[in-house]
Chain A
Amino acid sequence: MNDKAEHTPELNYLNAGHTVKSWLLTVDHKRIGILYLIAMTCFFLIGACAAALFRIELATAAPDLLANDTYNRLFTMHGIIMVFFFLIPAVPGVLGNFLVPLMIGAKDVAFPRLNLASWYIYMLGGMFTLAAVILGGIDTGWTFYTPYSSVYADSNVILAGSGVFITGFSSILTGLNFIVTIHKMRAPGMRWMRLPLFIWAQYATSIINVLGTPVIAITLLLVVFERGFGFGIFDPQKGGDPVLYQHLFWFYSHPAVYIMILPGFGVVSEVIACFSRKRIYGYEFVAFSSLAIAAIGFFVWGHHMFTSSQSVYAALIFSVLSFLVGIPTAIKIFNWTATLYKGSIELSAPMIYTLGFIGLFMVGGLTGLFLATMAVNVHLHDTYFVVAHFHYVMVGGMMFAWLAGLHFWWPKLFGKMYNSFWAKVGAVIIFFGFNFTFFPQFIAGYMGMPRRYHVYDTVYQPFQMLSTAGAFFMGSGLIICFVTLVASLFSKKHCGRNPWKATGLEWMKAASPPDPHNFTSPVVVDVEAYDYTDERVYEDA
């Protein structure tokens, strides 16, 4: 490579054009990743503000800040925005778009214009949902359960449902794009078993996106038709079955959990390998466990409906399958831990997030097994235990992985290194804040506090109080993290091509920030993934 490590490359994807048009009409996968980053951060803030409001309300048992109806609209908005506009598209939209072509040695994704279209579809869906919020919100919960959503709810179900419907196509098209890119655009020598595990994770996620998302699309469309025209597909008065809605909804929405978490697994594999300076233990197992999760994940949806008059035999099978999906997940956890064993561990900010991820995700995953047990589920269904469980997976898992990835690839995205001290402070505060927020909810839920109530028995008040305090502690960590990252953009110092001395084409062959065409010379791959014994990793950067 002829670029000097100390200086920002003269031509890179960030300065290749300065006009607004050059950003809004770009077909460069890296710029599209940045567009997603900006949009997603905004959605995240909106979702977080909603959470802050209802967390304040929940600090006391009495209703003092919000009316019950407002409370319902806030937690619904929090759920819809966080799930469909942050958790699902975050890693694929930002890091996936940016990294998939770079990691496999391609110039771009297979369909660059379609990629830009996906972003616009995402934004259009987001606008519909925001319009629903501005016009008074929606109070069905993020699950849009019928017949409440289709008949009784007095809120903007059609707008919000359409928003989610539209955004779904963004996921489908991004998934399609990644599958084709990974199949057809790999550089010479980049065999399947040489792919970074991040790519395997994106591949598995994309399969779920392409096969699962259309089902929720048609399901929400049926709800919209039912509400708009009075078609009675899920209306019991016309013979329709609301439980069928739940089946169709969870047929997508359970795999969607894996859409959210699998890309996170990919990030974690990269970070663990880099900061242990070892090849991932059992590479093949980690790679194929992603596919196994994607496959089994399609057949566990019924565990959301143990108390919804589902047949006992069906529930039994769903329970067993839910236990099964724990196996490939556990394989990953064991392999990551084995990678750490005797590694040269460096506690950088991304690594702190990653270790946090492993711990918190394990709690989330294991409590998932409690919930997959039918008898226990009857006691815990729709309690705060469930809320705590999925926040350990979604926030403790996915959000930690997202922040790990963002901190890890930030120097590659912008060519600047953030202040590592403050980044670590942020990471530690978020970790403790998170546990203060959600651990008490396990106990409150186990004691019987149902979810989605804004007035509750004073018995639960200590837990809710702790939860609210923790949420604001976590919020302050997020602010530190945000300020630290943004401040780094104004730094004059360039971080070098490979500040972490990591393997992978994006670190070893591409400049920071990369050239508009990614690589300035043809890429040929002649090494296995995560070869930290290769001296070229330690060159010039």
Chain B
Amino acid sequence: MSHVSTEITDKPYQQHHFDSMEQQTQSTLLGIWLFMAQEILFFGGMFATYTIYRLLYPQAWALGAGTQNVWLGMTNTIVLIGSSVSIVFAVHAARHNQRGQVMKWFAVTLLLGTVFFGIKSIEYGGKWNHHMVPGLRWDDGHALHTIQEHAPEGMNVTELPKGIQLYYSLYFVMTGMHALHMVVGFGLAIWIMIKNARGCFNSEYYPHVEYFGLYWHFVDIVWIFLFPLLYLV
């Protein structure tokens, strides 16, 4: 506020309310981990709901997962793991003061993220076309037809399994929330790239890059749980 003390000029990155750079770094790190903890609980609500309904309606879950395109899901998993790797390179580059490399690896991460969204939109679009979006665009006849097409050989699905709409509702909510987190990640990444271009970071000070890395890994890990639970069960 009015009189910022002058003794901190030799530590240009330290905010005035911290006593030392170490205190600032540790505080921020603890804050990030607590943020992750609340994220886990946020997704935890959905995973709990998923578990209960899956136990109640195992057949709906089996047939519903059967309609997913495992290859698209698999590709997306690999794409996201790739983006996690590229962000590790970005953090590494930041640590070694390579501003251009940071830029490059962030761009790769965003590119892979865009590929993920592309594939995801193909999957969502398919569900939309097959009238398999509960509430918004759902048709029992269409859905039954699609499920029959994907059912295991020799199995004759004569009526929709109970709870099948719950499977799709949860599919959209869970992948949707995951996608929302990626959108937020995109925003953060672009902000950090701008800061990086302006030369805000150096090998002594690059917390934004490092913490973005943690956040991005977290979002990937969520997907690594979602993929087997929604596609492979």
Interface residues, chain A, with chain B CB atoms under 8 Å away: 11, 16-17, 28, 106-108, 110-112, 114, 172, 176-177, 179-181, 183-185, 210-215, 217-219, 222, 225-226, 229-233, 238-241, 244, 248, 516-517
Stretch at the interface among B23-31, B190-198, B201-209: B23-31
For residue B216, give the distance in angstroms from its CB to the closest CB of chain A.
19
Instruction: Please count the residue pairs between chain A and chain B whose beta carbons lie under 8 angstroms apart in the complex.
Output: 120
Closest 3 CB pairs of A and B: A230-B135, A239-B163, A214-B42
Q: Are A214 and B41 in contact (CB under 8 A)?
A: yes
Cα A16 to Cα B164 in complex, Å, equals 61
Which residues of the partner chain A approach B38 to less than 8 Å between Cβ atoms? 172, 176, 210-211, 213-214
Of the candidate stretches B46-54, B69-77, B116-124, the one touching chain A is B46-54
- Decide if B109 is an interface residue (CB 8 Å cutoff): no
Q: Which residues of A contact B2 (CB under 8 A)?
A: 11, 16-17, 516
Q: Which residues between 5 and 33 of chain B lie within 8 Å of chain A, taking CB atoms?
A: 16-18, 23, 26-28, 30-31
Smallest CB-CB separation from A109: which chain B residue?
A: B17
B135, A229: Cβ atoms closer than 8 Å: yes
Asked if B82 is at the interface of the complex by the 8 Å CB criterion, the answer is no
List residues of chain B with CB within 8 A of the CB of A241: 52-53, 56
Contact A238 B16 (CB under 8 A): no
Contacts of A107 on B, CB cut-off 8 Å?
16-17
Contact A106 B17 (CB under 8 A): yes
| B34 close to chain A: CB less than 8 A | yes
Q: List 30 A-B contacts (CB under 8 A).
A: A16-B1, A107-B16, A111-B27, A114-B31, A177-B31, A179-B34, A180-B30, A184-B27, A185-B18, A185-B27, A210-B38, A211-B41, A213-B38, A214-B39, A214-B45, A218-B46, A218-B177, A222-B49, A230-B134, A230-B136, A231-B172, A232-B166, A232-B169, A233-B49, A233-B169, A233-B173, A238-B165, A239-B53, A240-B166, A516-B2
Enumerate chain B residues within 8 angstroms of A180, measured Cβ to Cβ.
27, 30-31, 34
Bound Cα distance from A180 to B135, whole angstroms? 42
Is B142 among interface residues, defined by CB-CB distance under 8 A? no
List the B residue with the shortest CB-CB distance to A211: B41
B96 within 8 A of A: no
Residues of B57-79 whose CB lies within 8 A of A:
57, 60
- A239 close to B56 (CB less than 8 A): yes
A238 with B134, Cβ < 8 A, contacts A184-B26, A214-B45, A215-B44 known: yes
| Shortest Cβ distance from residue A295 to the other chain B in the assembled complex, whole angstroms | 15
Contacts of A110 on B, CB cut-off 8 Å?
27-28, 31
Inter-subunit contact B31/A248 (CB<8 Å): no
A244 and B16 form a contact (CB under 8 A): no
Contact residue among A17, A106, A214, A239 (Cβ-Cβ distance under 8 Å from B162): A239
| Cβ–Cβ < 8 Å partners of A517 in chain B | 1
Q: Given A210-B34, A218-B45 in contact, is the A225-B166 Cβ separation under 8 Å?
A: no
Q: How far apart are A231's CB and chain B's nearest CB, in angstroms?
A: 4
State whether A218 and B136 are in contact (beta carbons under 8 Å apart), knowing that A16-B2, A184-B27, A233-B169 are contacts in the complex: no
| Max count, chain A CB within 10 A of own CB: residue among B30, B34, B44 | B34
CA distance A183 to B23 in the complex (A): 10
Find out whether the CB atom of A231 lies under 8 angstroms from the CB atom of B31: no
Kindly list chain B residues whose C-beta atoms are within 8 Å of the C-beta of A214: 38-39, 41-42, 44-45
Residue of B nearest to A183 (CB): B30
Give A239 to B18 CA distance when docked, in angstroms: 54
What residue of chain B has the Cβ atom nearest to residue A229's Cβ? B135
User: In the bound complex, what is the Cα–Cα distance between A180 and B1 (angstroms)?
Assistant: 22
Question: How many chain B residues have a CB neighbour from A under 8 Å?
Answer: 42
User: In the complex, which residues of chain A have a beta carbon less than 8 angstroms from the beta carbon of B31?
Assistant: 110-111, 114, 176-177, 180
Give every chain A residue within 8 A of B18 (Cβ-Cβ): 185
Q: Which residue of B has the minimal Cβ distance to A110?
A: B27
B residues whose Cβ falls under 8 Å from a Cβ of A: 1-2, 16-18, 23, 26-28, 30-31, 34-35, 37-39, 41-46, 48-49, 52-53, 56-57, 60, 134-136, 162-166, 169-170, 172-173, 177
Closest to A107 in B: B17
Q: Which residue of B lies closest to A114 (CB)?
A: B31
Q: Which residues of chain B have C-beta atoms less than 8 A from A215's C-beta?
A: 41-42, 44-45
A282 to B217 alpha-carbon distance, docked (Å): 45
Residues of B within 8 A of A233 (CB): 49, 166, 169-170, 173
Nearest CB in chain B to that of A108: its residue: B17
Q: For residue B1, which residues in chain A have a CB less than 8 angstroms away from its CB?
A: 16-17, 28, 516-517
A231 touches B39 (CB 8 A): no
Which of the listed residues A108, A111, A114, A231 has the most CB atoms from chain B within 10 Å of its own CB?
A231
- Asked if B42 and A238 sit within 8 Å, CB to CB, the answer is no
Please give me the residue from chain B that is nearest to A218 by CB atom. Answer: B45
Shortest distance from the beta carbon of B2 to any chain A beta carbon, whole Å: 6
> Contacts of A17 on B, CB cut-off 8 Å?
1-2
Q: What is the bound-complex CA distance between A217 and B46, given in angstroms?
A: 11
CA distance A324 to B52 in the complex (A): 27
* Bound-complex Cα distance A232 to B37 (A): 28
Taking a contact as CB atoms under 8 Å apart, the answer to whether B23 and A225 are in contact is no
- A212–B173 alpha-carbon span in the complex (Å): 20
B26 neighbours in A (Cβ, 8 Å)? 184
Bound-state CA distance A217–B180 (Å) is: 15
CB pair A231–B45 under 8 Å, yes or no, is: no
* Chain A residues closer than 8 Å to B165, beta-carbon distance: 232, 238-239
Bound Cα distance from A386 to B173, whole angstroms: 35
Q: Are A248 and B49 interface neighbours, CB within 8 A?
A: yes
- Quick check: B45 and A248 within 8 Å, CB to CB? yes
Minimum Cβ distance to chain A for residue B218 (Å)? 14
Q: Given A108-B17, A210-B37, verify A185-B23 contact (CB < 8 Å).
A: yes
Chain B residue at smallest Cβ distance from A225: B173
A183 CB to closest chain B CB (Å) equals: 6
Residues from chain A with Cβ under 8 Å of B52 in the complex: 241, 244
Contacts of B162 in A (CB 8 A): 239
With A17-B1, A210-B34, A214-B45 given, is the CB distance from A232 to B17 under 8 Å? no
B35 surroundings in chain A (CB, below 8 A): 176
CB of B86 to closest CB in A, whole Å? 28
CB-CB nearest in chain A for B39: A214
A184–B24 Cα gap in the complex (Å)? 9
Closest to B44 in A: A215
Find the A residue at minimum CB distance from B5.
Answer: A517
A146 to B153, CA, bound (A): 39
Chain A residue at minimum C-beta to C-beta distance from B52: A244
Report the nearest B residue to A13, measured CB to CB.
B1
Residues on B with C-beta less than 8 A from A179 are 30, 34
Residues of B within 8 Å of A212, CB to CB, are 41
